[in-house]
A and B are shown apart, each in its own frame.
Chain A
Amino acid sequence: MTKENMFSIAALFIAAAVLSAPCAVFGQSATTADPTAAGKAVFKRANCFGCHKWHGNGGGGYGGDALSLRKTELTREQIMETVSCGRPGTGMPFFTRGAYDTVKCHGMNRQEVGNEMPQEAGTFLRPNDIEAVADYVIANLKGKGEPNFVECTAFFGDTSRVCDVYKTQAQPPANSDAAAGKTQ
């Protein structure tokens, strides 16, 4: 094989890689070697970030006070149980089909938990999904400090401006026209 041929074959590979890049948004896990990618997918699909936010810090607001997964002291097993069974008396729903009915949760059935019965989540998760999301929380959120740009783009990718606030917090807003508006 001549040097020229090698180059054109390499170019073909690069072209193929570039062409396939826009498709990555349809299957992000395929393009990354992140071992917690499956757990991240569950974190998104099960809408964990709807209350705990992408960064896991949760926080007060209209929906009550989702606990911080960064500051959590729960173990992997406790996280799995919390996801499976929810937290009685709080807004944390249960994600296991049959929780409190066919499966006892926190040692209780539906009758025993009574008025404290957690809500049913919008999505049920299989045991391997629950393991994956617990692994994701342990690896990417638990014990981490303030959320940053790299973590944010790892979660969202780079097609949205959602992470810019972590990059540009120290800079003036992009909209200088608006910033120059009169105050009253």
Chain B
Amino acid sequence: MTELVRKRFLMRASMLATVFAAVGIAGAQPARAADEVTQERLLNADKEPGNWLLHHKNFSGTRFSTLKEINGDTVKNLKVAWTMQLSGVEGGGIWTHGGLEGTPIVENGFMYVTDGWGSVYKIDTHGGKGLLLWKMDPKTDHDWAGAVACCGVDNRGVGLYNDLVISHTLDGRLIVTDKETGQVKWQRQVADPDKGEVVTGAPLIVRNMAITGVAGAEYGIRGWVAATDLTTQKEVWRTYTIPAKDEPGHETWKDANNAAAAGGGSTWVTGTYDPATDTIIWGVGNPGPDWDNQYRPGDNLYTDSSLALDANTGKIKWHYQHTPNDPYDYDSVAENVLADVPTPNGGTQKLALEADRNGFAYAIDRTTGKFLWGLPFVKKVTWTKGLDPESGKPVEYDANNPVQHYNAAVTPSRENKVTDICPGNMGGKNWPPTAYNPDLKLWYIPVIESCNRITVDVADPAKLKAREFWTGGGPSQPFKITGSVTAIDVTTGKVAGKAEMPFPMLGGMLATPDLVFTGLPSGEVMALDAKTLEKKWEFNTGGGVSAPPMSFSVDGKQYIAILVGQGGAWDKWFIESTPELKRMQPGSMLYVFAL
């Protein structure tokens, strides 16, 4: 077509898109009182087995569905029920494409998913098919956000509150959308991309608050967790993950550079909530600059920590730090799964379980923040000989030494500028969520079995600029990286099984009574036996899986849903470790399976 005709066509297409976005393509269902998502319903999310109301399924973060129509006997008959092509695959900033990392939310047969640029799709799943009811496109500023997203164009999903759908955008907004019409009711700038802050996580809804975490520890941010009141539209609290000068913990930043002001500590994975103590438990990422820990002597609280926050005030109740003065980029942003485990003497241990980038799985007493047990869940750990059985700190940790070297032979430092570390800087386990089967007391970790090479570049305060990388070095990939699903028995704190995978696990887990589901970046979605981890079913979606599966039921029938569309940073920064994955193409598709 001629240039003029093409322009007219494009303008017309964009006008149609606007109408589409504003009106929706089908009459949405009238709201009913039963569709109001209240705190009472969220607290009892597991009493609605056909629904998936919270990002991690429930406040405890188990990602365990009790639905059992699809089980060890029937799963061999699982097949595609329907698919839906989504969008958001376009690039922006330094990224050539967007991807899908979200967990679908399902309530009463209506599904809510997001694409990497933050568009929200409401899909009617009744009648064995998917029908798009509306799409809310927040018109994310691609270049503003994409230029400072360290690790891809990603959005991990929505939260539900009353008759509203709550979501984030990469450019730092909290968006509140009418559930019935798809109209944006209001929005608020929570993070500031001018400072290098972006938002990729799904909001956690607690009472009338939306809790937001931030990404940007590679860009010299000072991380935080923030709560927005969904009725007043105002911020209730914002807790910085790096203490201010007059706050406890500031003494763990001992440098003369004011490193704390750009000290990282991002919070980009949705946390969990313990209603018994009204405590939000949230993981905190790496310190900045990532690999030059001599720039920031001290333990660098609260980076690489799990934080317990008072839900009312955001005040820190306790913290547990995994890798003090981290020289490896070993974030602790991962979700903490809240599990209650009976003890031999008839008591109950109230655990917070976290699988860290550093290769160790931790059980913390979530009432006190005290270490209970920890163990490596990866095949190879070289940075430390192990954890102190009392404190859980790496055995080489020396509280009197402001700069930690751990196993100095492999630890990146100004003296040892090029080193190979295991696990590599992606982990261990990255953001893809674990799942926990409370009947079997088995906890399933999507593992990246990895080593990589770190090259230290001494951080120069003159180079600290807003929106520019602040990493003190970088990784390269001379080693092949694979993966595994590793199961841990939380009653013993021991590895109960490991299913080797040819590629790193970049999607995450779903547990059902006798199965676990997951996907591979090479396209396969699979079901494993919950006890033996033997593969029971597999389907190749043809697209890189970077999102966790979930399960729901509608019209009395069980479904498994998963978003498929290579997301994250793997294909840009880490692909040399998995050369076979170069064949995977970007895409954006929802797959739904049924018997």
Contact = CB atoms under 8 A, between A and B. Distances in A.
B467 A65 contact: no
Interface stretch (A94-102, A104-112, A125-133, A174-182): A174-182
A180 B11 CA distance: 41
A173 B195 contact: yes
Interface in A143-179: 156, 160-162, 164-165, 168-169, 173-175, 177-178
Interface string B485-514: 000000000000000000000000000000
Interface in B95-109: 95-96
B586 to A, nearest CB: 11
A162 B143 contact: yes
A168 B466 CA distance: 11
Interface string B185-214: 000111111110000000000000000000
Contact of B474 (A49, A62, A175): A62
B194 A181 contact: no
Contacts of B467: 165
A5 interface: no
B416 to A, nearest CB: 17
Interface residues of A, number: 38
Interface of A is mostly: loop
Interface of B is mostly: mixed
A27 B96 contact: no
A59 interface: yes
A64 B193 contact: no
A22 to B, nearest CB: 8
Nearest to B151: A62
B476 interface: yes
Contacts of A2: none
A164 B11 CA distance: 27
Nearest to A55: B468
A134 B383 CA distance: 44
A54 interface: yes
Closest 8 CB pairs of A and B: A181-B238, A61-B469, A162-B143, A184-B239, A160-B143, A161-B144, A62-B573, A162-B144
Given A49-B94, A62-B475, 13 more contacts: A50-B572, A54-B147, A57-B468, A60-B457, A60-B474, A61-B469, A61-B471, A62-B150, A62-B218, A162-B144, A174-B192, A178-B190, A181-B224
Contacts of A64: 455, 474, 476
Max chain B CB contacts within 10 Å: which of A54, A164, A181?
A181
B76 interface: no
Contacts of B194: 161, 164-165, 168, 173-174
A160 B469 contact: no
A64 B195 CA distance: 22
Max chain B CB contacts within 10 Å: which of A23, A161, A162, A183?
A162
A50 B95 contact: yes
B379 interface: no
Contacts of A156: 143
B193 A161 contact: yes
A55 B195 CA distance: 17
B141 interface: yes
Nearest to A165: B194
A53 B457 contact: no
Contacts of B314: 182, 184
B572 A63 contact: yes
A51 B141 CA distance: 20
28 contacts: A23-B11, A27-B3, A49-B94, A50-B96, A51-B94, A57-B468, A59-B463, A59-B468, A60-B471, A61-B218, A61-B469, A62-B471, A62-B569, A62-B572, A65-B457, A119-B576, A160-B142, A160-B143, A162-B93, A162-B141, A162-B143, A164-B144, A165-B466, A178-B235, A184-B237, A184-B240, A184-B243, A184-B316
